[in-house]
C-alpha cells in the first residue's frame, strides 16, 4: 500500500513512517510513504503556494497550480510503479467523517493521495478538477490537514495484514465487525489490586466463557451509555443475540421475565445417569419411612 501526501510540512510524517507499529511496518516494506511539497512545483523565485482570497476576508488560500502539479507528479510516480490511478482525498472539515469502515477499505486498497490544506483552505477550482474525496477528522478545525492525514494513515496501516504482532488484536477493537461494531470493553493489567481497586473478578477466573460474557456485557453497557446509535446499528444487522437483548433490557429497566418463553421442564428419568449418581453426595438425612399407623 502506498500513500502520497501533498504537504507543506513533509517532516511531520516521520511520526507514522518511523515510530511504533506503523514505523516497524514501514521498515518491513508493508507500506510506503511519499511526501510531495507544493513549493517544489512553483514557478516563481519566492516559491509561492498561497495568495489572498478573492472577495476579501482574513487569511490566505492555497493556489491551485502547485497542488495540481504535485498531484500529477504523484500519479505519474504511482503509474511508474505499476499502480492504477489513485483516489485523491483532501483533508477538510467539510468532508465526510473518517470512520473504521473507511480505514478498512483503505487498508484493502493500493493506497491514496492525501492533500493537506493550510491557511483558510485550498482554491475550489483545484478541488473540482483533482479531488475525488473530502475527508474530515471530526467537527473541529485544525491548523492544517497533516494531523488528519496522519490519523487516516495510522488507522489504515494497522489493519494491513501482518502489521500488528497479534493478528487478532485489531479484531477486538472498537467498531470492529467481530465486536458487532460496539465499543471495546475496559482493560486491566498488573497489579491485581491498584490503590485499593481490584481487577473485576471474572477476569481472574480463568473461565473463558465467563470472561467473554463479562467483556460482552461491559461492551454493551458502555456502547448503550455513550454511543446508543451503534447498538441500533448492531441490532439492525442482526448482530445482537437474545442474551445481549436481555442484558440491554435489564440495563434499561425494561426487562420483563414474563416475556421469556416458558422453560421446557425435563421429565424425571427413571434411571439416573451413572455419572450423576456418582456425583450425588450421600444424604445426611435418612429417608423417611412411611408411617405405619
Ligand atoms: C484552518 S483549516 C481551514 C478551515 C476552513 N476555513 C473551514 O472553516 O472549513 C486549514 C486546513 O486544515 C485541515 N483541517 C482542518 N480541520 C480539519 C478536520 N476537522 N478534518 C480534516 N482536515 C482538517 C484542512 O486541510 C484545512 O484546509
Q: Choosing from 110, 173, 213, 246, which is the catalytic residue?
A: 173
Residue 202 to residue 267: CA distance in whole angstroms: 34
Closest CA to 6 of 51, 62, 47: 62
Are residues 242 and 142 located together in one domain of the fold?
A: no
79 confidence band (pLDDT: 50, 70, 90): very high
| Domain extent for 51 | 2-157
Q: Is 14 in the pocket of ligand 1 (CB under 6 A)?
A: no
* pLDDT at 288 (0 to 100): 39
Question: 92 CA distance to ligand 1 centroid (A)?
Answer: 5
Are residues 120 and 206 located together in one domain of the fold?
A: no
Are residues 118 and 234 located together in one domain of the fold?
A: no
Are residues 137 and 199 located together in one domain of the fold?
A: no
Residue 230 to residue 248: CA distance in whole angstroms: 13
Q: Does 270 fall in a domain? A: no
Pairing verdict, β 111-116 and 88-97? parallel
Q: Does 166 fall in a domain? A: no
Mean pLDDT of the chain: 91
Q: Does 266 fall in a domain? A: no
Looking at the CA of residue 62, tell me the nearest atom of ligand 1: 27
Question: Is 128 assigned a catalytic role?
Answer: no
Are residues 125 and 242 located together in one domain of the fold?
A: no
Are residues 211 and 150 located together in one domain of the fold?
A: no
Residue 275 has pLDDT above 50, yes or no: no
Residue 90 has pLDDT above 50, yes or no: yes
User: CATH number, domain at 85?
Assistant: 3.40.1280.10
Q: Is 184 in the pocket of ligand 1 (CB under 6 A)?
A: no
Residue 54 has pLDDT above 90, yes or no: yes
* 3-state secondary structure at position 122: strand
Q: Which three cell numbers stand for residue 172?
A: 477486538
139 is in an annotated binding site: yes
* pLDDT at 194 (0 to 100): 98
Mean pLDDT of the 100-124 span: 98
Question: 127 CA distance to ligand 1 centroid (A)?
Answer: 14
Ligand 1, atom 15: closest residue by C-alpha:
142
Q: Are 49 and 8 in contact (CB under 8 A)?
A: yes
Provide the CB-side half-sphere exposure for 219 (13 A, CA). Answer: 25
Q: Does 170 fall in a domain? A: no
Residue 221 to residue 213: CA distance in whole angstroms: 12
Q: Choosing from 93, 184, 202, 227, which is the catalytic residue?
A: 93
Are residues 153 and 32 located together in one domain of the fold?
A: yes
Residue 11 has pLDDT above 90, yes or no: yes
User: CATH number, domain at 206?
Assistant: 1.10.1270.20
141 is in an annotated binding site: yes
Q: Any residues with CB less than 8 A from the CB of 73 and at least 6 apart, and which?
A: 36, 41
Are residues 214 and 142 located together in one domain of the fold?
A: no
What tens digit of pLDDT does each residue of 189-220 get? 999 999 999 999 999 999 999 999 999 999 99
Are residues 73 and 142 located together in one domain of the fold?
A: yes
Predicted TM-score (pTM) of this structure = 0.88
Q: Does 151 fall in a domain? A: yes
Question: 46 CA distance to ligand 1 centroid (A)?
Answer: 25
Helix (H) or strand (E) holding 243: helix 242-252
Are residues 25 and 89 located together in one domain of the fold?
A: yes
Q: Does 291 fall in a domain? A: no
Are residues 140 and 208 located together in one domain of the fold?
A: no
| Domain-ending residue, one of 157, 184, 213 | 157
* pLDDT at 167 (0 to 100): 62
Looking at the CA of residue 135, tell me the nearest atom of ligand 1: 21
- Which DSSP string corresponds to the chain? -EEEEE-S-GGGGHHHHHSHHHHHHHHTTSSEEEEE-GGGG--STT---EEPPTT--SS-EE-HHHHHHHHHHHHHHHHHTTPPPPPEEEEEEEEEEP-HHHHHHHHTSSEEEEEE--TT-B-HHHHHHH-SEEEE-SSS--SSSHHHHHHHHHHHHTTSTTSSSSTTGGGGSTT-GGGTT-PPPP---S-SEETTEEPPHHHHS--HHHHHHHHHHHHHHHHHHH-HHHHHHHHHTT---HHHHHHHHHHHT---GGGSPPPPPPPPPSS--HHHHHHSPPPSSPPPPPP--
279 confidence band (pLDDT: 50, 70, 90): very low
Q: Does 124 fall in a domain? A: yes
Q: Does 268 fall in a domain? A: no
Are residues 6 and 78 located together in one domain of the fold?
A: yes
Q: Is 117 in the pocket of ligand 1 (CB under 6 A)?
A: yes
Q: How many domains, the chain?
A: 2
Among 141-145, 171-175, 178-182, 264-268, which is the least confidently predicted range? 264-268
How many secondary structure helices (H) and strands (E) does the chain include?
11, 9
Amino acid at each position: 500500500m502506498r500513500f502520497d501526501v501533498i504537504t507543506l510540512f513533509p517532516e511531520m510524517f516521520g511520526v507514522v513512517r518511523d515510530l511504533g507499529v506503523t514505523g516497524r511496518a514501514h521498515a518491513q516494506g508493508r507500506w510506503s510513504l511519499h511526501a510531495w511539497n507544493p513549493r517544489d512545483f512553483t514557478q516563481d523565485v519566492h516559491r509561492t503556494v498561497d495568495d489572498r482570497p478573492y472577495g476579501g476576508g482574513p487569511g490566505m488560500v492555497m493556489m491551485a497550480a502547485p497542488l495540481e502539479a504535485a498531484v500529477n507528479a504523484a500519479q505519474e510516480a504511482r503509474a511508474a510503479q505499476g499502480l492504477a490511478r489513485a483516489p485523491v482525498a483532501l483533508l477538510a472539515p467539510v468532508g465526510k467523517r473518517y470512520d473504521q469502515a473507511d480505514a478498512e477499505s483503505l487498508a484493502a486498497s493500493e493506497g491514496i493521495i492525501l492533500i493537506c490544506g493550510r491557511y483558510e483552505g485550498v482554491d475550489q477550482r483545484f478541488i473540482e478538477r483533482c479531488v475525488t474525496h473530502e475527508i474530515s477528522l471530526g467537527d473541529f478545525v485544525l491548523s492544517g490537514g497533516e494531523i488528519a492525514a496522519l490519523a487516516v494513515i495510522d488507522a489504515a496501516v494497522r489493519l494491513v495484514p501482518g502489521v500488528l504482532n497479534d493478528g487478532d488484536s485489531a479484531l477486538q477493537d472498537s467498531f470492529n465487525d467481530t465486536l458487532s461494531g460496539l465499543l471495546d470493553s475496559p482493560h486491566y493489567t498488573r497489579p491485581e489490586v491498584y490503590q485499593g481497586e481490584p481487577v473485576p473478578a471474572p477476569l481472574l477466573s480463568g473461565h473463558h466463557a465467563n470472561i467473554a460474557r463479562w467483556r460482552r456485557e461491559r461492551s454493551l453497557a458502555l456502547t448503550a451509555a455513550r454511543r446508543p446509535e451503534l447498538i441500533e446499528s448492531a441490532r439492525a444487522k442482526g448482530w445482537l443475540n437474545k442474551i445481549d437483548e436481555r442484558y440491554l433490557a435489564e440495563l434499561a429497566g425494561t426487562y420483563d421475565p414474563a416475556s421469556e418463553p416458558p422453560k421446557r421442564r425435563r421429565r424425571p428419568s427413571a434411571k439416573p445417569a451413572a455419572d450423576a449418581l456418582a456425583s450425588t453426595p450421600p444424604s445426611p438425612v435418612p429417608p423417611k419411612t412411611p408411617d405405619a399407623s
